Amino acid sequence: MIDYIQPDYEVVRNKELCIKCKVCVRQCANNVHVYDESRDVLYVDNSKCVNCHRCVTLCPAKALKIVKTDHCFKPSANYTEDIIKDIYRQADTGGVLLSSMGTPKSYPVYWDKILLNASQVTNPSIDPLREPMEIRTFLGRKPEEIRYLPDGSIETEKYPNLELKVPIMFSAMSYGSISKNAHIALARAAEQLGTFYNTGEGGLHEDLYKYGPNTIVQVASGRFGVHPAYLDAGAAIEIKIGQGAKPGIGGHLPGSKIGEEVSRTRMIPMGTDAISPAPHHDIYSIEDLRQLVYSLKEATDYKKPVIVKIAAVHNVAAIASGIARSGADIIAIDGFRGGTGAAPTRIRDNVGIPIELALAAVDTRLREEGIRNNVGLVVAGSVRTSADVVKAIALGADAVYIATPALLAIGCHLCRSCHAGRCNWGIATQVPELVQRLNPDVAYKRLVNLVSAWSHEIMEIMGGMGINSIEALRGNRLMLRGIGLTQKELDILGIRHAGE
């Protein structure tokens, strides 16, 4: 069969610098680099390169670079190179196209069209290095009224809340989609940072139960690895209804990734595909959701907050309103630019709505209905920087979930090949030799660094606004101004245009 698809990238080797140490050969799981002993020559097979930078990063002589090929099709703004190649690919295989991580399409990023305020003259800014700056956040249902205990003191603990030292959590990534070492790194970082990581739907490995106080355990449609000890282990339970990258779609972890440990953790036979159905088969209404929320609360003595995670889709505000009335303590909303370990390309690139609009719509709706205090609001789906975090909180979020930045911190180079299962950085793979490449001792420190850096920046930005607590920033949309947005977009975001 003729292969219509030419390589996307070219590996360029500077022969003057190359010392033929062959680290590139040894480290490329895709076998791009080959050493021919008889000729004493290193050559490359560009067609296998996914542009993950493992060879470039490890090359001690800095002799390698990867460039986008300039081999081209006749230019067309309509039938672009990507579209042509996808059609060839489907003609080859007859299959659904798969992709990983967040959509690369150029949809508007509203974070970048929102500007932040700062104080001048009349309301002085605050120096976070000299004055107290509170970014601790409590997530969950808030009391409706002040109640006094018999001894005259105020009742403070009415509903279970999560206490976050930083308003940033690591979002759900299952053991299976990412490696055990990646999970260990996330768990240890969450513990040190005083925040939470999320198991995803793959259960909790027995070695990670000790991080339970910093773990959110997920219950998804496949119910993998869900049992009483699992629910008891976590600090909160998350019901996953949808994921931003693939709203309306379930999950499919191929049998090749279900080794002994994943199988034991997920409670499914080794080598079988782990298929999460698109819906929860017991949830067809808010009333059904309420039953699951209360089943989980009952199972854990009403001691843990229950999170319901949905994808940002049309009518998200009405859906969130229903969830807020279902007894859930926290709503997590995942925008369509969020990441995934594998999703059908057409779903990932076309379904859902941006998190910024969903967040603003949900927060506004819940306030209008007077039920915003019933729930904590967490947003996910491409929160890329500390500035995005500040904007999210000012739009009304209590906290954010980050996943792609967390993976980037531990070595991901966004080659978007997770679904192939041969992650050269030891993250999105279950191959023991590759998993070994991610030393949690190294990785957790990088995660702690990232989130610490962001919290310093958040405090700096808040200080500039003259705000000294995250409570005063939350839903404070006067701190935001749109730039280059239409009146409709500004209305949905509930912000004014720059200059107003």
Partner 1 sequence: MKRVYVKEEWCLGCRLCEYWCVYSGSGEKNFPFAFDKGATPPAGIQVEEVGPVHFAVNCRHCDDPLCLKGCISGALSRDGYGAIRIDKTKCVGCHTCIALCPYGCIVSGGDNMPIKKCQLCAGRDYTPQCVSHCPNEAIVFEEE
Task: Measure the CA–CA gap between 485 and 332, rounded to whole angstroms.
Answer: 26
Does position 61 interact with partner 1 (CB under 8 A)? The reply is: yes
Contacting residue, 6, 9, 27, 125, with partner 1 by CB under 8 A: 27
For 250-266, the three-class secondary structure string (H helix, E strand, C coil) is CEEECHHHCCHHHHHHH
Does position 26 interact with partner 1 (CB under 8 A)? The reply is: yes
**Candidate ranges 135-143, 183-191, 435-443, 478-486; the one touching partner 1 (CB under 8 A):** 435-443
**What is the nearest approach in angstroms of partner 1 to the Cβ of residue 384?**
26
Indicate the pairing of strand 33-36 with strand 41-44.
antiparallel
Task: Measure the CA–CA gap between 401 and 379, rounded to whole angstroms.
Answer: 6
Select 98 or 408, whichever has its Cβ closest to partner 1: 408
Task: Measure the CA–CA gap between 326 and 294, rounded to whole angstroms.
Answer: 9
Contacting residue, 63, 169, 470, 479, with partner 1 by CB under 8 A: 63
**What is the nearest approach in angstroms of partner 1 to the Cβ of residue 411?**
10
Contacting residue, 4, 5, 12, 19, with partner 1 by CB under 8 A: 19
Q: Extract the runs of DSSP E, i.e. beta strands, from 319-381.
A: 330-334, 343-344, 376-380
Contacting residue, 10, 35, 45, 58, with partner 1 by CB under 8 A: 58
Binding positions for partner 1, 355-394, rule CB under 8 A = none
Q: Extract the runs of DSSP E, i.e. beta strands, from 55-118.
A: 64-68, 98-99, 114-116
Does position 22 interact with partner 1 (CB under 8 A)? The reply is: yes
- The position carrying tokens 């843990």 is 304
Select 166 or 448, whichever has its Cβ closest to partner 1: 448
Binding positions for partner 1, 413-432, rule CB under 8 A = 432
Contact mark string toward partner 1, 67..96, x via CB under 8 A: ------------------------------
Q: Are 223 and 237 in contact (CB under 8 A)?
A: no
Contacting residue, 21, 98, 313, 408, with partner 1 by CB under 8 A: 21
**Candidate ranges 55-63, 114-122, 214-222, 338-346; the one touching partner 1 (CB under 8 A):** 55-63
Does position 23 interact with partner 1 (CB under 8 A)? The reply is: yes
Task: Measure the CA–CA gap between 418 and 176, rounded to whole angstroms.
Answer: 11
Count of residues near partner 1 by CB under 8 A: 22
Burial annotation 400-437 (CB, 10 A radius, 16+ → b, else e): bbbbbbbbbbbbbbbbbbbbbbbbbbbbbbbbeebbeb
Q: Are 61 and 18 in contact (CB under 8 A)?
A: yes
Select 55 or 480, whichever has its Cβ closest to partner 1: 55
**478 Cβ partners below 8 Å, 6+ apart?**
117
Select 18 or 275, whichever has its Cβ closest to partner 1: 18
How many CA atoms are closer than 13 Å to the CA of 183, on its beta-carbon side? 31
Does position 207 interact with partner 1 (CB under 8 A)? The reply is: no
Contacting residue, 41, 318, 442, 478, with partner 1 by CB under 8 A: 442
Task: Measure the CA–CA gap between 498 and 117, rounded to whole angstroms.
Answer: 10
Select 89 or 422, whichever has its Cβ closest to partner 1: 422
Select 29 or 164, whichever has its Cβ closest to partner 1: 29
Does position 437 interact with partner 1 (CB under 8 A)? The reply is: yes
Give the H/E segment covering residue 368.
Answer: helix 355-368
**What is the nearest approach in angstroms of partner 1 to the Cβ of residue 27?**
6
Task: Measure the CA–CA gap between 240 and 330, rounded to whole angstroms.
Answer: 12
CA geometry: angle 405, 409, 411, nearest 5 deg? 115
Select 57 or 69, whichever has its Cβ closest to partner 1: 57
How many CA atoms are closer than 13 Å to the CA of 493, on its beta-carbon side? 29
Neighbour tally for 488: CB within 10 Å: 8
**What is the nearest approach in angstroms of partner 1 to the Cβ of residue 412?**
15
**Candidate ranges 20-28, 112-120, 193-201, 213-221; the one touching partner 1 (CB under 8 A):** 20-28
Does position 441 interact with partner 1 (CB under 8 A)? The reply is: yes
**What is the nearest approach in angstroms of partner 1 to the Cβ of residue 114?**
39
**Candidate ranges 194-202, 240-248, 304-312, 436-444; the one touching partner 1 (CB under 8 A):** 436-444
- The position carrying tokens 């070219």 is 10
How many CA atoms are closer than 13 Å to the CA of 46, on its beta-carbon side? 15
What residues line the site for partner 1 (CB under 8 A)?
Answer: 16-23, 26-27, 57-58, 60-61, 63, 432-433, 436-437, 439, 441-442
